[in-house]
Structure 1
């Protein structure tokens, strides 16, 4: 893969305030966004069209997650509430009112019907996804648990906290098995590599750290951005990953040697975001980014050049 070509497909506008979260739908052409305004919005990503407000909300949306093996979307709010909505009929399935502080990340399993939620209150809760009964709640840190990453085998997951520590947990017993303290500032992004050999971590210190998953030793450190890294996402099938930052840039990296391939920013000549980029996801060969500038942008990433 010698080159990639990046073109902007669509800019999605309509949010009245910063957009914090983006998530794919069950259908490949559907995408959801949420932020500091009154609703979670559903878009057609191929056509670049507004479809509907799928869920009105009372407080800012900080996290969105499509629950595995379902048509359900979990919406995490600044209030601490998590609303579960069926995206086909727009029916609210459950309201999880356990946490009293903002919800920053939500993840679920393919292999078992469980949902993990992390909060500013320093705890993580685990829910059964057919009844939405609370299974576990445990303290992780005295500060915000900002992000969650589940590995491909679904036997371990990582939690990143405001205290600058990454904690590795056993996904069956929910017991801690390792702690990493290499960043100097809060952890803001986590991702396991598709082959489960590496854990990538990003922080407010703008550092991208690569750890092996044998003993979680640091293998590589990269000053990847100028400010906080708010997203690390692997391409669904190509050996690429992308990072997004408060510095208004998206960077595309090779997954094999962690070398930089491309920078998407206004400084590099792209009609890109003007403010902090708060989240990114892949949808096939499209990369979707959301920003403080109230917009989402859909990028075509062409590797056949």
Structure 2
């Protein structure tokens, strides 16, 4: 892989409290952020400026997720409420009040009209994305279900819980396939590799685990950070991925051997976050965004050199 440099393009300021969630709109220039504030904020990435409050909320937002091939943004709150808002028409499509405890994960399919929601109540709920009616709900753990991930083929679902367990389900009927016990603390992030051959998991134990998806055997363990890993995201096209952590750092890793390429942090001389980095997302091949307890979102640019 060619060498590259990372630079800060914009700092998006305006939130009054920690930011927990970030999601892009249907246009590359639109970004949404939310957290322990009174609303979901829309930003213009071309100018790096605030656009508007998209949706006022009554409790903290822990999850934002855009339903594929749509203008619908799902907003998961601490109260358990999930709101679906059309961000083009600025219209609330539905309010889903099923969970009575915080919603941490939301994942919609592109291959079928279903959406999965995970909660602190230890359950998953499955919704029809054509009419937003509840299809199923079932218990996963006695503790918080923190994060969920679909593989690219959308036939396997991974679920991470506070009890340190990762549970694997068939996405067709939500039957449980396997349980993985390789972390010593809560699971805080999950993602599948672009080729679906590996599942990457991050925990409050600061460990990054790589499982082969054939039989979900542990392939590699890396002590990736000093504290919880809150985000793992693959680059849209290059063989690398990012991790973000409570230790205030973003790390860039090679996807072929899981070796470290860069450590983006104040300690390494970058104008980065001063507090926990709670989420991270790619916008395009050259741009990613991180959000933090320090009340800012930072737009980063990668340039090949």
1:288 is matched with 289
Partner of 2:22: 22
Q: Which stretch of structure 1 is more off in the superposition, 185-194 or 38-47? A: 38-47
When the two structures are aligned, how many residues end up with a matched partner?
Answer: 304
Cα distance in 2 for partners of 1:234, 1:66 equals 18
Quote the offset at 1:2 in angstroms: 3.5
Q: Which runs of 4+ in 1 moved over 2 A?
A: none
TM superposition shift of 1:294: 0.2
Distance in 2, matches of 1:79 and 1:105, equals: 14
If the length of structure 1 is used for normalisation, what is the TM-score? 0.99
Deviations 1:56-86 (A, max 9, x none): 0000000000011211000000000000000
User: Please, which runs of 5 or more residues in structure 2 have no aligned partner?
Assistant: none
Unaligned runs of 5+ in 1: none
The equivalent of 2:181 in structure 1 is 181
Residue 62 of structure 2 aligns to a residue whose secondary structure is: strand
TM superposition shift of 1:254: 0.7
SS at match of 2:124: strand
Partner of 1:84: 84
- In 1, distance between residues paired with 2:45 and 2:38? 21
Alignment of 1:1-305 (within 5 A): 1-284=1-284, 285-302=286-303, 304-305=304-305
Deviation at 1:3, TM superposition (A): 1.4
CA distance in 1, matches of 2:255, 2:207: 17
2: CA distance between counterparts of 1:218 and 1:6? 31
1:198-222 CA distance string (max 9 Å, x none): 0000000000000000010000000
> Hey, what's the Cα distance between the residues in 1 that align with 2:178 and 2:4?
37
Instruction: Please give the alpha-carbon distance, in whole angstroms, between the structure 1 residues aligned to 2:205 and 2:294.
Output: 22
**Coordinate RMSD, CA, aligned:** 0.6
Aligned-partner SS, 1:143: coil
**TM-score normalised per structure 2:** 0.99
1:255 and 1:279 mapped to 2: Cα distance?
20
